Amino acid sequence: MTKTIFQLKDVVKTVNPDTPEELNILDHVNLDIHEGDFITILGSNGAGKSTLFNTIGGNLRPTSGQVIYKDKDITNMSVVKRTSFLSRVFQDPKLGTAPRMTVAENLLLAEKRGGHHHLIPRRLKTQMKRFTEITAKMHNNLNHRLNTETGSLSGGQRQALSFLMATINRPGILLLDEHTAALDPKTSQKLMDITDETIKEQKLTCLMITHHLEDALKYGNRLLVLHQGKISYDISGEEKAKLTKEQLMTFFNEIQ
């Protein structure tokens, strides 16, 4: 039986409490995430997708409920402390990288994420061969730009770097927050192919928000649909593999 490594237990996130505008943007959410799950997440604007990720990542603390990682209550754990086991790639390529640092320096920084920092030589030169090999897998010339400041990269290269930084240390949980949405279709598809390949090779546990029904159906072993702060659809395994776009559209129409 696959081990449960992350849980949301009856999580509520309320905004504008005790006012006429009070709203639960997460409404008593219960979610078990199993080791090796690749979960795609769909939902209309305002469904609670970003709030869900911010709660998992520690950017938001729930109004009530618990967040559990490997049987430990991390509800009040800071974002910084969660970086020891959690990585996130955002929709905006400008987020997640330091623009005035080179590609190689960003990768070195990512390797040290979540660890103890000491005043020791960074030994960047000794890592260049390895970083060249890692970036060559992206097939976008990033391996020839290791000494280039990240702010000078194209959007696709910068997002590829963000993904490499998020996965370089094999995180316990990987959050992909519409990480291909800002890219052109060709670049987006390349990054999705590498994403899927990396998740399978490293056997990562991953949650991915997407607006593309095709991607939600094609990738991962499990699919969630959020609606008005609740998980209204949770399908996995063979049932997900057989799910069609038409069936998913019918479900969306029913909950609107």
| 8 falls within a domain | yes
Same domain, yes or no: 75 and 178: yes
Same domain, yes or no: 176 and 165: no
Q: What is the dihedral of CA 8, 171, 240, 225, to 10 degrees?
A: 40
Same domain, yes or no: 33 and 5: yes
Same domain, yes or no: 56 and 134: no
Same domain, yes or no: 224 and 112: no
| 32 falls within a domain | yes
Q: Which of 59, 49, 50, 47 is nearest to 23 (CA)?
A: 47
Same domain, yes or no: 112 and 125: yes
Same domain, yes or no: 162 and 106: yes
Same domain, yes or no: 146 and 176: no
Same domain, yes or no: 91 and 74: no
Domain count, the chain: 2
| 187 falls within a domain | no
Q: What is the pLDDT of residues 157-173, one digit of tens each?
A: 999 999 999 999 999 99
Q: For residue 4, give its domain range.
A: 1-79+172-182+207-256
| 200 falls within a domain | no
In this prediction, residue 120 has a pLDDT band, given cuts at 50, 70 and 90, of very low
Q: Which of 9, 114, 2 is nearest to 62 (CA)?
A: 9
Starting at the earlier edge strand, list the strands of the sheet with 72-73.
23-34, 4-15, 64-69, 72-73
Tell me the average pLDDT across 114-121: 50
Identity of the amino acid at 154 = S
Burial profile 21-50: b = 16 or more Cβ within 10 angstroms, e = fewer: eeebbbbebebebbeebbbbbbbeeebbbb
| 161 falls within a domain | yes
Question: Alpha-carbon distance 208 to 253, whole Å?
Answer: 22
Q: What are phi and psi of 142, to 5 degrees?
A: -65, -30
Contact 12, 68 (CB under 8 A): no
Question: Alpha-carbon distance 12 to 91, whole Å?
Answer: 25
| Final residue before a domain boundary, out of 170, 195, 230 | 170
The continuous run of DSSP H or E covering 34 comes out as strand 23-34
Same domain, yes or no: 44 and 105: no
Same domain, yes or no: 127 and 176: no
Same domain, yes or no: 113 and 58: no
| 237 falls within a domain | yes
| 198 falls within a domain | no
Question: Alpha-carbon distance 107 to 184, whole Å?
Answer: 24
Q: Which of 61, 91, 75, 40 is nearest to 212 (CA)?
A: 40
* pTM of this structure: 0.93
| Final residue before a domain boundary, out of 145, 170, 195 | 170
210: left (phi over 0), alpha (psi -120 to 50) or beta: beta
Question: Alpha-carbon distance 218 to 180, whole Å?
Answer: 15
Q: What is the pLDDT of residues 177-216, one digit of tens each?
A: 999 999 999 999 999 999 999 999 999 999 999 999 999 9
Q: Can you give the CATH number for the domain in which 227 is found?
A: 3.40.50.300
| Final residue before a domain boundary, out of 124, 144, 170 | 170
Q: What is the pLDDT of residues 31-84, one digit of tens each?
A: 999 999 999 999 988 899 999 999 999 999 999 999 999 999 999 999 999 999
